[in-house]
A and B are shown apart, each in its own frame.
Chain A
């Protein structure tokens, strides 16, 4: 970093305009923050207990049946030349040795055959009945929380205002993709607005992943299938529904990883504070020598901006 950019540099002789370099705005409304963290807990526990349930039969199929030898994805074990257990992941016809993580990993008494390792399942040991209890309890939390979110977002117009892309958003999609790839993020006022990729990501996660994973979960319930069988057959059958359920679960993981990455590179403290207290700091725009009315010092501190809920 060059000294010129520091406060004690060449510009120090110029009388400084008293413009706050950062401004705190109330960004996330309380209900949104509560629902966000409930969702974090529910999704985490559903994912981990879901892997426990998957481990009871660590293979995926397409169609209604799971006939021997027709799995399109499998975690399993085989013996190597020395007679040692080897973990194997098979996707279609491609096999990968995954000893230690997938297929074979350490249990309480050394290496054991299990799909996902004990540090990725709730409960840790192989215990299907308990995994189901966790999964179906938090399924209610996830669904009710999701319904509350959609109701709230519609009622407060959060959905229409902040999540549905505008025409200008769509036109700027190319630039937004390039900006994301260069890890270039908007500052100042613009940072408060969800960009097009953010909007599409949130809408996809809520309405495609969220709705989809719940429907595919219901499609695995034999009682629900008595009324849902047209949908079950439309996606290919119960085993297809199970496969899609699994894929969407990993879609959520991909979303969360990208989400956390974006939080990290755009200021983890500020972002966390935003989602915990609601208050989020933005830079006063550097290319803006004349601060706009709402950026005047009188209005700094927690402003009365509408929450970016």
Chain B
């Protein structure tokens, strides 16, 4: 007998997409601006966020979620900048998904917040497939990683809205060719906004802050 062919035509990650859409609507209703950060491990997500949140905490109500396979270390670091931080430990999962984000928000009054930052698990591959309901996704590339990272991991750069080149204070020591890195980012994601920062010296941090604040101003209009 000939088998029956059942047409499904659905996104494999439909469940995540549905949850992410619900989260995005919830964030919009609450008037909270949600920005996520993705990068390879060790490119400076936590340090950047710690400094960015410390700058913004006096003016705005902010909170953060931070994902790692194990330990509460990053949450403890971010709490130095602002008290409302929750760690998501994923166990073995190499990325955050919308379900984990929704669960981690339990009990938080989102309407009291201006900004929510989500630090994803350090990984340049898997997070690209999972929408978290964020309004802006920032991908980090550190000066010590090499200029060709965007060419090696085009998908994550293609799904992000902004690229930040971090650890610029180490650029000279690492013989980092910033122009080549910019060219490579723009090759895989033409027109992408690029911000160069050093969380250590503070260079570029004002621009990073303005960019995040600009997003909120734009979404409130």
Do these two chains really belong together in a complex? no
Binding site for A on B (CB under 8 A): none
Binding site for B on A (CB under 8 A): none
